[in-house]
Structure 1
């Protein structure tokens, strides 16, 4: 019974040491009698107990590595505290096992020295502007060296750049001055644009006013011209109407003279107007204009009638 139990325990131990399960995204390095034999891939694998052993276990996933912060000196002799993070992946388990005693420490130290070298070639202002360039330079240097360690450096990112406190204050003062300068420039540009807009508005207003005055003068002159034309046409029409009326009156007088009793009426009218005219002159003027023979009123009337008869005869002829 004791022997069977011992055999059972021995079998269990043998199976336990012989059967190995490799997880996904992992690699086990097997040594046989102290020498590298092969690399076990994910899955169930049987090894020879006491002859084979799993010497190294590697994680094949991407691994983030925090690079300790360090003080770097820039090209213009300014101290700069730099903190970064590194991402790498084991690509060759055999090299990762035998290429370096501690590839994580090796990568960390190489990242720090490379970063100091890259920043030492830059001025302080450039270190803030050229972060991507710094990251690429560190990755290129690490990737070349890490090949012998079976490691692939994927990327490096600077987490923080901290200059000394006095440099920070100087930078803050510079930024404040630059912002004040931009504010003054913006204000002056605004005033300049305002003056330009006011001048442009005044010019356009003057142009509009002059154009309006010119149009008003044109309309006024045209109105005066039309008024003068209308007045002239009205006066001409009035003269034509007066002439027509006068002609009509003369024609009617001529017809009246030629009718029965017309001549006697003319004689009476002429004598009446003659006497009235002399009476009016006597009332309104101190000086009288009298004919040579004042008493011969009948002769004057006869002379006037003779003129009337002559005009009537010419009209009938």
Structure 2
């Protein structure tokens, strides 16, 4: 349960400089496998819709459309993070960095960017069979009596290794116990969601419990959790972690995140199809660099398994739950 997919791409100047063999050698050295390739010329509209850049977006679009690019779909353990390191090393070898617009090579970040760029480059492939590592945002309320069937489908027809199933109220979760009656290739982490008013705005927090919990703790039924702190302390006492649920980008600020971190929140639901790539990028910077929190994400309103996070991000946030 450790394979995942990632995307790395030679930009037009990478094609011209002929660095493909260097890239492929580094991929092999990391025990990764090239599954599919696609060589295309992008349109400016495709670049504007599926890429972000710290440079002027129109200049960047003209750069990426100045010639052919080649995208590689890669499979292997921790593929997403390994491809990111390969990208940085190749750029450095040629004297480039993220400060240069023309810098040879790109890799898709986990979550939203991978979801969008997979659809752009590999339209003929099933995203469920070529996903990242974990979809931590499957809303149980959307499936009701069909949850068991959903679990079977994800195990048989997706490459997901872990899923997070979120509940809005106490539930006996008989489908989970039924699913685990035999050995499975997919792990399940259960979450319970509660709403609170914090700093004058309505926010939702998700408490995720250790993988050993095949049902929600019955004590949830007897707790009202009038304050966010009581909910966070309850979840952590049972060995769990708490994540800030989806919040529109306008509601996310450093003061709120630092307060939540002080209360014991571990991370933020960042990767979500309801966010644009620019919103994701801006939130990532605040969450990681200023608030010192970790990332989570998942399919949410999409088909389960469609949008997922890599093993690197999963381990950074949820590792304590799967020991």
TM-score surpassing 0.5? no
Larger Rg: 1
Q: Which has the higher contact order (CA 8 A, sep 6+)?
A: 2
TM class, shorter-length? under 0.3
* Structure 1 or 2: more helix by fraction: 1
